[in-house]
Amino acid sequence: MPTLPDLSPADLPPPRRSFIAAALGVLAAGLSWPAVSLAAPRRASPPLQLAREAPEHIDPAGFLVSEKLDGVRAAWDGERLRFRSGLPVMAPRWFTARLPALPLDGELWLGRGRFDVLSGTVRRAAALDPDWQGVRYVVFDLRDEDGRLGPFARRVERVREAVAAAGFAPLQAAEQRTLADRAALKRWLDEVVRAGGEGLMLHRADARWRAGRSDALLKLKPEHDAEAVVVAHVAGQGRHTGRLGALHVRTAAGVEFLLGTGLTDAERERPPAVGTVVTYTHRGLTASGVPRFASFLRVRDPLRS
């Protein structure tokens, strides 16, 4: 039996005394220590509503529409701020102390096009106060697992009231608009995208809260066409072994990336040759200029305008 260190529980900080005292008692009695985990329990992921892709030419009637923020999803339960994974957000105490005792659902946000900086700030193991000065918690809903808060339109009003009562600048309510028709929806989408935003979110005003994906919550993001030159072929793996996995392409701006989505089996068997100009779709650019969600569309047709 190993020799115990020459310590008594009184030599230890208070939080550890009861555990060490129990351990010493067990060992002294010649008993085996029960198999227990000393790791801190992982908090379960908070139940959240998730969006589906909006169908083309969707009619916004019956929806409340807000901007889709390029932020980090965060849920507040009245005590703790957590990521979608369930892990805690290590926000400064001054940031969380003014949040209301309500089950808030929203995004931590620094502004359009600043996701990389935001992500680096909020995912640190210890909050750096200066970096949090510009972070906002933009709330778009209240989690309502027992269904007492009513439809989305009513929950939006509760969010606005809570934000106004808090009087705390970093806490904001997402702007929700009622749009008259498809033309109005397209105008706002174009305006948001031109300003560097990602797109729009449409939430049925009469929808009750429900965790998971449903047609009550939709995301609308534009797709852009662009061109690039094939500079290399990347071999496939798994079910694509022995044929093309992705095209290594370069844009006119000199940005290189892999284009592996959208290719048919026939195109993987006989891929566009190196030097070919191809057209792809994407949904905006990252801060470094790489297309988001790029998908192969076709080999460029020289007659297409």
User: 3-class secondary structure for the chain?
Assistant: CCCCCCCCHHHCCHHHHHHHHHHHHHHHCCCCCCCCCCCCCCCCCCCCEEEEECCCCCCCCCEEEEEECCCEEEEECCCCEEECCCCECCCCHHHHCCCCCCCEEEEEECCCCCHHHHHHHHCCCCCCHHHHCCCEEEEEEECCCCCCCCCHHHHHHHHHHHHHHHCCCCEEECCCECCCCHHHHHHHHHHHHHCCCCEEEEEECCCCCCCEEEEEEEEECCCEEEEEEEEEEEECCHHHCCCEEEEEEECCCCCEEEECCCCCHHHHHCCCCCCCEEEEEECCECCCCCECCCEEEEECCCCCC
**CATH assignment of 224-299?**
2.40.50.140
Residue 67: closest CA among 173, 162, 208:
173
Long-range contacts of 77-81, Cβ-Cβ distance < 8 Å, separation of 24 or more: 77/46, 77/103, 78/102, 78/103, 80/43, 81/137
Position 301 scores a pLDDT of 60
Indicate which residue of 68, 186, 219, 221 is catalytic: 68
Position 302 scores a pLDDT of 54
- Catalytic residue at 221? no
> Is the Cβ–Cβ distance between 122 and 91 less than 8 Å?
yes
> Is the Cβ–Cβ distance between 295 and 262 less than 8 Å?
yes
The token pair at 164 is 């106004």
Question: What is the full per-residue pLDDT of the chain (305 aa) written as tens digits?
Answer: 343 334 333 333 343 333 334 343 433 334 333 333 333 344 678 999 999 989 878 999 999 999 999 999 999 999 999 999 999 999 999 999 999 999 999 999 999 989 889 999 999 988 889 999 999 999 999 999 999 999 999 999 999 999 999 999 999 999 999 999 999 999 999 999 889 898 999 999 999 999 999 999 999 988 777 899 999 999 999 999 999 999 999 999 999 999 999 999 999 999 999 999 999 988 778 888 899 889 998 898 654 44
Domain 49-220: what homologous superfamily? Answer: DNA ligase/mRNA capping enzyme (3.30.470.30)
Position 113 scores a pLDDT of 86
The token pair at 241 is 């072994």
Domain assignments of the chain as residue spans, ordered by start: 49-220, 224-299
Residue 104: closest CA among 74, 84, 132:
74
The token pair at 31 is 């008993």
pTM equals 0.66
Position 77 scores a pLDDT of 95
